[in-house]
């Protein structure tokens, strides 16, 4: 009987750690089942689960599908190191439901620099997917390797040749 009490106390503490880490950090890494790498996503914590919005002009949700599982890793807000890892079940929230409305209210507060702040809820209902990632089972062991991954393919680039006149502008000596 004492063993059951200890296990439930540990489960309670694990859930509390996950909740506190998710509330403090605005970024987590999600690795959908069957995918080789984890991807960073911004998120919010709502009603006992992580909620994310993506697609339709928001962050990509590659590999996250309703009914699937994903491995989540949360970081420490102050040190930015891995704090806790766990498995979550993915659920798609339907627009207009109370669960969707509550999740979207939390996400709106976390969305920075939205181009359409006044109508963002309508756009998310039309174009995006809102997913709920509910923790399941015990905490996972933190990985010991770096978990580095190549950037996602994109037509956008920041590497361009330096303009010929730039060194002269930056390093010219001022005459007095």
Kindly report the CATH number assigned to the domain that includes residue 124: 2.30.110.10
Query: 168 in a domain, yes or no?
Result: no
Query: 159 in a domain, yes or no?
Result: no
pTM: 0.76
In the prediction, which pLDDT does 170 show?
A: 79
Q: In sequence order, what are the beta bridge partners of 27? A: 42
Q: Which helix (H) or strand (E) holds 67?
A: none
The Cα angle at residue 159 between residues 155 and 164, in degrees rounded to 5: 135
Q: pLDDT band for 127, please (50, 70, 90 cuts).
A: very high
In the prediction, which pLDDT does 147 show?
A: 64
- Asked whether 103 and 93 are in contact (CB, 8 A), the reply is yes
Query: 170 in a domain, yes or no?
Result: no
Domain count within the chain: 1
Tens digits of residue pLDDT in 71-99: 999 887 777 778 888 999 999 999 999 99
**Domain, as residue range, for 107:** 2-142
Query: 154 in a domain, yes or no?
Result: no
In the prediction, which pLDDT does 22 show?
A: 84
Tens digits of residue pLDDT in 114-123: 888 888 999 9
Q: pLDDT band for 2, please (50, 70, 90 cuts).
A: very low
Query: 158 in a domain, yes or no?
Result: no
**Crossing angle (nearest 10°) for helices 120-127 and 98-110:** 120
Query: 160 in a domain, yes or no?
Result: no
Q: In sequence order, what are the beta bridge partners of 53? A: 130
Query: 45 in a domain, yes or no?
Result: yes
Residue 17, pLDDT above cutoff 90? no
């Amino acid at each position: 009987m004492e063993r059951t009490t200890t296990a439930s106390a540990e489960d309670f503490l694990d859930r509390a750690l996950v909740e506190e880490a998710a509330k403090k950090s605005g970024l987590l890494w999600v690795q959908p089942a069957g995918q080789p790498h984890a991807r960073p996503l911004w998120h919010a914590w709502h009603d006992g689960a992580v909620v994310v919005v993506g697609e339709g002009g928001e962050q990509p949700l590659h590999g996250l599908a309703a009914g699937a599982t994903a491995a989540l890793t949360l970081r420490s807000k102050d040190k930015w190191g891995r704090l806790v890892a766990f498995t979550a079940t993915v659920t798609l929230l339907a627009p207009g439901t109370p669960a969707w409305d509550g999740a979207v209210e939390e996400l709106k507060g976390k969305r920075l620099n939205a181009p359409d702040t006044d109508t963002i809820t309508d756009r998310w209902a039309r174009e995006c997917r809102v997913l709920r990632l509910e923790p399941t089972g015990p905490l996972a062991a933190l990985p010991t390797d770096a978990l580095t991954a190549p950037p996602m393919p994109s037509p956008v680039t920041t590497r361009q040749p330096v303009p010929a006149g730039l060194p002269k502008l930056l390093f010219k000596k001022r005459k007095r």
